Structure 1
Amino acid sequence: MDMDRYTPAKPAFGAWLIAQKDRGGLLGQLAAGAAADRGFPKHGDPDAVRKRLVALQADGDMHSALDDAEVDWLAY
């Protein structure tokens, strides 16, 4: 029996992160910034988002928030 067809697909990391924009703390700030960024990789994985943060010269707090977000997304 194929159980995968009964399990909803996990959203792309970028889309999941944007959906977190109403959360508090640094993760919420990161998500709100992602939602406002027209160049944000909405369908990207955590590495694509890291590249975007580097390109934007984001501060260390946003990189830490990204690490936390990745752990939350993996557990989702």
Structure 2
Amino acid sequence: MPETPFGQWLMTQKDRTGLVGQLATGAQADRRFPRTGDPEAVRKHLTAMQADGDMFDAVDDAELDWLCA
């Protein structure tokens, strides 16, 4: 597991193109975003926020990148 929590890592991805970048931008604007959370915490948060299905795909893609970082 990477040392940086997934939520924090994701917010550093705001300059990326595509859905991961959109997710990261939204995460930075969301005061309730689980910044120290793991990917599952982010999925739970997105579910509570009734996020679009594409954002869940973005979490999946971001999780793979985070694990490889």
TM-score bracket, normalised by the shorter chain, equals over 0.9
Unaligned runs of 5+ in 2: none
RMSD: 0.9
**How high is the TM-score relative to the length of structure 1?**
0.87
Q: Deviations over 1:4-57 (max 9, x none)?
A: xxxxx6200000000101111000000000010000000000010000000000
Equivalent of residue 45 in structure 1, options 33, 38, 42: 38
Q: Residue 58 of structure 1: SS of its match in structure 2? A: coil
Partner of 1:58: 51
| Larger RCO of the pair (alpha carbons < 8 Å, separation 6+) | 2
Alpha-carbon separation, structure 2, partners of 1:75 and 1:10: 12
Partner of 2:26: 33
Figure out how many residues of one structure are paired with residues of the other and give that number.
68
**How high is the TM-score relative to the length of structure 2?**
0.95
Q: CA deviation at 1:68?
A: 0.2
What is the identity percentage for the equivalent residue pairs of Structure 1 and Structure 2?
65
Partner of 1:23: 16
Q: Quick check: which has more Rg, 1 or 2?
A: 1
